[in-house]
Every structure is written in C-alpha cells, then in structure tokens.
Amino acid sequence: MPLVLEIISPEKLLLSRDVDMVVIPGTEGDIGVLPGHSKLITGLRGGLVDIYENNTITDRFFVPGGFAEVTESYCAVLADGIIRQSDLDPAKAAEAVTAAQAAYDATDMNNEEAYRLATDRLISAQAMVDSISPQRSDKV
C-alpha cells in the first residue's frame, strides 16, 4: 500500500504522488511517515521534506513552515511554497536570514504574537541556509 504525499499551497496543489516514505520537519523534530501511520496533525518548522522510494531519497524539498495532516493512507503538507533542495540559492538564503534577523531585532519582545512570528521567520530562514548542505547523510 503506497502512501500518497500531497504538498499543497494556498494557491494550488504543488505535488501529489505515491511514495514509500516521507520525512517531514515537525515542530518537535523530524517525523518519518510510512503507510499506516496513526492519525496525526502537526505544525512544521522550516526544513526539508525528504521523499523516499526504494530506500533512497529520490527528492528533497525545502518548506518554509506550515502544517501537516497524516493518516494511514496519505500525508498532506500544507506549506506556503516548496523549493527543490538543489534549487536553493545560498545568496538568497543568506539574504533571508539577514532580513529575518533585522525583523527579529526590531520586534517588541513584550508582544507575544509578533515575537513568535519573528522567531518563526528567523528559524525558517536559518533552516533554508542549513538545508543547502544538510548535515544528515543522504544514505539510509
């Protein structure tokens, strides 16, 4: 039984295909999803979505954050957009971190909501830089 992976942005369905396993970057840590996974709703931090087929990673996408819904037969990733890992641009990523850092520094620490948004943005930008040359090995 294959697992259907859907990556959806508010504007459109970005990707929908059958995969053997997918690893998604949950807020509390990476989650590997195999077919038959128990029902789960989780927030996502910025990071890489790894698609496994035949025990190798066939595709890696960077997501800037969002949500994921997992059931026995499918995994739906709700993200703002995806970038293929090989297409990530170090210059753009560095720029995003600088901008996010500036926004973070300018944020009023007492405003819980704004503080959380700025933190999320910084973490997501940093994750983009880290995703360009991930520490994790590509081998399984």
Partner 1 sequence: MPSLKTLRNRINSVKSTQKITSAMKMVAAAKLRRAQAQAEASRPYAKRMGDMMGALAAAEAANPNAPALLVGNGRDKTHLLLAITADRGLAGAFNGNISKHVRLQVQALEAQGKTVKIFTLGRKGNDSLRRDLDSKIIGTKNFVGKKTLEFSDAEAIAQTIIGLFRDEAFDVCTLVFNRFHSVMTQTVTETPLIPAATPTANDNAAGDQNYEVEPDDGTLLDRLLPRNLAVQIYAALLENSAGFYASQMTAMDSATRNAGDMIKKLSLTYNRARQANITKELIEIISGAEAV
| 78 or 132: CB nearest partner 1 | 78
Greatest CA span in the chain, whole angstroms? 50
107 interacts with partner 1 by CB under 8 A: no
Which listed residue (15, 30, 34, 42) binds partner 1 by CB under 8 A?
42
Q: Which residue has the tokens 């026995």?
A: 72
Which span sits near partner 1 by CB under 8 A: 33-41, 47-55, 89-97, 124-132?
33-41
Q: Which residues, 117 to 136, sit near partner 1 by CB under 8 A?
A: none
Residue 36, exposed/middle/buried by CB under 10 A (0-12, 13-18, 19+)? Answer: exposed
Q: Which residue has the tokens 């890696």?
A: 60
| 135: its two tokens | 């520490």
Euclidean distance between CA atoms 110 and 116, whole angstroms: 10
Q: In the structure encoding, which two tokens stand for residue 88, read together?
A: 């990530």
Contact window for partner 1 (CB under 8 A) among 50-58, 74-82, 86-94, 128-136: 74-82
CA distance 84 to 50: 10
* Residue choice 3, 5, 8, 123 for contact with partner 1 (CB under 8 A): 8
Instruction: Give the footprint of partner 1 on this chain (CB under 8 A).
Output: 6, 8-13, 26-28, 38-43, 67, 69, 76, 78, 80, 113, 116
